[in-house]
Amino acid sequence: MSKFLGFSCSLCDREYGPNEIIYTCPKDGGNLDIVYNFSSLKQDVSSDMIINSPEESLWRYLPLLPVNQVHGRETPLQAAGWTPIFSPPALREQLGLQSLWVKDESRNPTASFKDRASAVVVARALEIGVEVVVTASTGNAGAALAGMAAAAGQKAVIFAPRTAPPAKIAQLLIYGAEVLLVDGNYDQAFDLSILAANEFGWYCRNTGYNPFTLEGKKTAALEIWECLINRRSFESPLAVFVSVGDGNIISGLHKGFKDLQALDWLAEMPRIFGVQAEGSAAVANAFSAGVEEISPVAAETLADSISVDLPRDGVRAVRAASQTGGAYLTVSDAEILAAIADLGRVGIFAEPAGAAAYAGLHKALKQAIIGSEDPVLVFNTGSGLKDVNAAMQAVAPAVIIEPTLRAVEQALDLSD
Amino acid sequence: MSKFLGFSCSLCDREYGPNEIIYTCPKDGGNLDIVYNFSSLKQDVSSDMIINSPEESLWRYLPLLPVNQVHGRETPLQAAGWTPIFSPPALREQLGLQSLWVKDESRNPTASFKDRASAVVVARALEIGVEVVVTASTGNAGAALAGMAAAAGQKAVIFAPRTAPPAKIAQLLIYGAEVLLVDGNYDQAFDLSILAANEFGWYCRNTGYNPFTLEGKKTAALEIWECLINRRSFESPLAVFVSVGDGNIISGLHKGFKDLQALDWLAEMPRIFGVQAEGSAAVANAFSAGVEEISPVAAETLADSISVDLPRDGVRAVRAASQTGGAYLTVSDAEILAAIADLGRVGIFAEPAGAAAYAGLHKALKQAIIGSEDPVLVFNTGSGLKDVNAAMQAVAPAVIIEPTLRAVEQALDLSD
């Protein structure tokens, strides 16, 4: 019997067979959750099988994913996920935390968390025999799809708003994607990508639309379980901090932990904390108001990867915190820049959206939402090399000196 | 008995004890090779010990390195090396090669090969009790030292010429390094860094000066041995292609293979091929002339990481090819840009210096220096995210369209 039973709507709970539907619930447009046959999974898969896997990538979790084969062996597709978890002593001291880990998603093949989603979407596209994958994106999701599709030998079409930064467009073009700069805003690019996918028979990866992105993203939760929770005994549940834009990453983490509980491999659900930029806080607003309905905002923050007017996976994102004893926090752009510098000083170069989670943890400690004895894991979701302009705002400029020892002494205040 | 016996001058063969000397040969300024006690290593270390190491980093080779401890556990220092080796089918087909691998060094913590050298230098600095590390650099070596030093809690001072690109300086500053922009050229920054190291008791990482950088870089050869050579049987020796600037990476690879032969773990020496930019070909010139003495050039190439007037490790770099049945090739900037696009189309985003080796392989095939049955490994030494401006020169710009299906059809030529 297949492990992958079908889909369940996150709004109305209606269920669909695995080949009955592709994207969202036809009844209410709700995002779909993948439904597994856990009784058969419990018989077929043991945690030891996973833990002893030789795969140094997210494909070690293939038995728990809704695809059947690892494609693109010996390509970057094979190298997504399985990112390092650091525990920098200086950050523990700075925050006064006994246990702190940083999971560094910038170490993915295209340098962001989004590779996890794109790897699974590309594998799904190969299984259903679609040769062209498509998405609307201004940044990491597009790069991840372009990179993973290139690795798998698929053709990728990326719709971006005409105003997208040229540097981010360059990464798409390098991966050989067809890049269409839409003379309009992001919403128009999003709508056009769906229209085009339907018209031309392409497979659309759009976040908060394609149900397979969540499954890729859940692998980060599986790694936290395997590398951290399963190897230690925590006195209080692990608190996981992650930045939130469209809400798909935090929902994916929640799904991963829920799947582990359904397998009886995880005793205690981690508490999940979402961090949004103050200027792009649609999900945090809903959480604060105690509702699941998301009201759009006019997003404005330097953290472009989490700058979102209408989060397309907002309902599940609210639940990820509300159902786990977590919370939402918002941080200013200035706090995000300070977090970039804090992470940099221990050797982790984060983009603004990547550093936002650390800024949120800082705030949670100040507000006593987190105490010094709580074990905490914070995500860096993307590489600072993706947004060097923002990085330059986070640090003081370098000093210019004459080529003399005296000038070195003066600049570094070494003379006594 | 200690595994690390001391140093041997690469020019005059004079030997020094492990604490007798720090940088280069006082007699002739030659670069020093680290000398090991291979008879004791053969007794103490087996290849199975290495292969069964749980370390997913270059520290799995600690028994074969001139330091005794892994420092900075659970920091980015712990995550250097152990980079993926890909075998993209599309590149094999494009080149008509039966066996081709790409080792992707952009997956290192600061996104270049240089992390290997800096990790070992930082570990050495910790062992000899020096708290400040210093280097002159305009790019990857500086970022690697700054990042690894930050991970280890050391202070880093980086001397860069005032004209260094602001984006590369930003990465140094983010890692918390003291960055001094010298009002002069690279050679003045280099000389000042050595003066300052001697004056203030800092430990200088400069390439082609500090003997420990080579030992870090040799770990890439150990990985090629462990993951490729040791698992297969090749009918002809593996050909390894790598780009060459100052000559320290290619010399490090050579050293790694020589150490493996001294351990009797490697039957056949791989052939090592160095690739230089036409406009920065000092080592290739010496190789062509059949000499080891390096004459400086006025370097000019868009591949800034291998743009070097006077390679500081040129002699050993010539030998890496001449002593292994390899060769040197030179490539134009246009060929480098084409190689960036080739690698990008299979999901590998290389900086110009990183793609140069692939361009060289292309040329070696054209010139029948390499045949279709030769097994080949080519390095990508750094991430394309480090030089997005160069990447944009490698691809055609994106198309701008109206937000309509008709415009999509026209742009992608989909109408029939």
The DSSP line for A63-106 is GGSS-----STTSGGGG-S---EE--HHHHHHHT-SSEEEEEGG
pTM: 0.97
Q: What is the CATH number of domain A78-110+212-394?
A: 3.40.50.1100
Who's near B409: CB < 8 A, 6+ residues apart? B415
The DSSP line for B390-412 is HHHHHSPPPEEE-SSHHHHHHHH
Q: How far apart are CA A374 and CA A158, in angstroms?
A: 42
Nearest-CA residue of chain B relative to A83? B79
User: Mean pLDDT for chain B?
Assistant: 95
Nearest 5°: phi and psi at B159?
A: -95, 120
Q: How far apart are CA A288 and CA A267, in angstroms?
A: 28
Who's near A290: CB < 8 A, 6+ residues apart? none
- CB contact under 8 Å between A111 and B385, yes or no, is yes
Report which DSSP code applies to B12: T
Q: Which of A88, A169, A399 sits opposite B181 (nearest CB)?
A: A399
Residue B1, pLDDT score: 55
Chain B neighbors of A109, CB-CB under 8 A:
107, 347
- CB contact under 8 Å between B180 and A110, yes or no, is no
Two tokens at A70? 């690892």
- CB contact under 8 Å between B398 and A110, yes or no, is no
Nearest-CA residue of chain A relative to B167? A388
Which ipTM did the prediction report?
A: 0.96
Q: Which of B75, B88, B384 sits opposite A347 (nearest CB)?
A: B75
- CB contact under 8 Å between A400 and B183, yes or no, is yes
Please count the other Cβ atoms lying within 10 Å of the Cβ belonging to residue A92.
17
> Which pLDDT band, with edges at 50, 70 and 90, does B165 fall under?
confident
Residue A25, pLDDT score: 97
**Percent of chain A whose predicted confidence (pLDDT) is above 70:** 100
Please, what's the largest Cα pairwise distance for chain A? 77
Q: Which of A153, A384, A401 sits opposite B181 (nearest CB)?
A: A401
Q: How far apart are CA B351 and CA B381, in angstroms?
A: 8
- CB contact under 8 Å between A384 and B107, yes or no, is no
Beta bridge partners of A377: A101, A240
- Predicted confidence (pLDDT) at residue A73 exceeds the cutoff of 90: no
To the nearest whole angstrom, how far is the Cα of A298 from the nearest Cα of chain B? 21
Two tokens at A271? 């508490």
- CB contact under 8 Å between A107 and B79, yes or no, is yes
Mean per-residue pLDDT, A249-258: 98
Q: For chain B, first and last CA: distance in Å? A: 77
Residue ranges per structural domain of chain A: 1-44, 78-110+212-394
Chain B neighbors of A187, CB-CB under 8 A:
none
Least confident span in A103-112, A165-174, B49-58: A165-174
Q: Which of A76, A385, A414 sits opposite B347 (nearest CB)?
A: A76
Who's near B244: CB < 8 A, 6+ residues apart? B250, B274, B275, B276, B283, B284, B306, B311, B317, B328
pLDDT tens profile A295-341: 999 999 999 999 999 999 999 999 999 999 999 999 999 999 999 99
Beta bridge partners of A178: A157
Q: How far apart are CA A403 and CA A61, in angstroms?
A: 55
Two tokens at A325? 């004893």
Residue B156, pLDDT score: 98
- CB contact under 8 Å between B171 and A388, yes or no, is yes
Are B283 and B210 in contact, with CB atoms under 8 Å apart? no
To the nearest whole angstrom, how far is the Cα of B77 from the nearest Cα of chain A? 8
Mean per-residue pLDDT, B75-88: 96
pLDDT tens profile A172-181: 999 999 999 9
Q: Which of B111, B347, B404 sits opposite A75 (nearest CB)?
A: B347
Residue A133, pLDDT score: 98
Q: Which of A181, A191, A195 sits opposite B400 (nearest CB)?
A: A181
pLDDT tens profile B93-109: 999 999 999 999 999 99
Chain A neighbors of B54, CB-CB under 8 A:
none
Q: How far apart are CA A217 and CA A249, in angstroms?
A: 6
- CB contact under 8 Å between B192 and A403, yes or no, is yes
Q: Which of A171, A392, A403 sits opposite B166 (nearest CB)?
A: A392
Chain A neighbors of B111, CB-CB under 8 A:
111, 383, 385
Amino acid (one-letter) located at A237? P
Least Cα distance to B287 among B255, B258, B334, B323 occurs for B323
Buried b (16+ CB within 10 A) or exposed e, B90-111: bbbeebebebbbbbbbbbbbbb
Residue labelled with tokens 């105003």 = A163
Nearest-CA residue of chain A relative to B405? A196
Who's near B252: CB < 8 A, 6+ residues apart? B116, B117, B213, B214, B215, B216, B217, B218, B220, B221
pLDDT tens profile B234-268: 999 999 999 999 999 999 999 999 999 999 999 99
Residue B415, pLDDT score: 74
Nearest-CA residue of chain B relative to A337? B174
Chain A neighbors of B153, CB-CB under 8 A:
89-90
Nearest-CA residue of chain B relative to A402? B183
Nearest-CA residue of chain B relative to A119? B347
Q: How far apart are CA B409 and CA B411, in angstroms?
A: 6
Chain A neighbors of B380, CB-CB under 8 A:
none
Q: Which of A157, A171, A341 sits opposite B174 (nearest CB)?
A: A341
CA angle at A145 for the pair A389 and B143, rounded to the nearest 5°: 35
User: Mean pLDDT for chain A?
Assistant: 95
pLDDT tens profile A369-398: 999 999 999 999 999 999 999 999 999 999
Fold designation for B78-109+212-394: Rossmann fold (3.40.50)
The DSSP line for A260-325 is HHHTT--SSPPEEEEEEETTS-HHHHHHHHT-SPPPP-----S-GGG--SS-TTHHHHHHHHHTTT
Chain B neighbors of A403, CB-CB under 8 A:
182-184, 188-189, 191-192
Two tokens at B337? 């840009």
- CB contact under 8 Å between B346 and A183, yes or no, is no
3-state secondary structure A5-51: EEEEECCCCCEECCCCCCCCCCCCCCCEEEEECHHHHHHHCCHHHHH
- CB contact under 8 Å between B88 and A412, yes or no, is no
Two tokens at A12? 């109305």
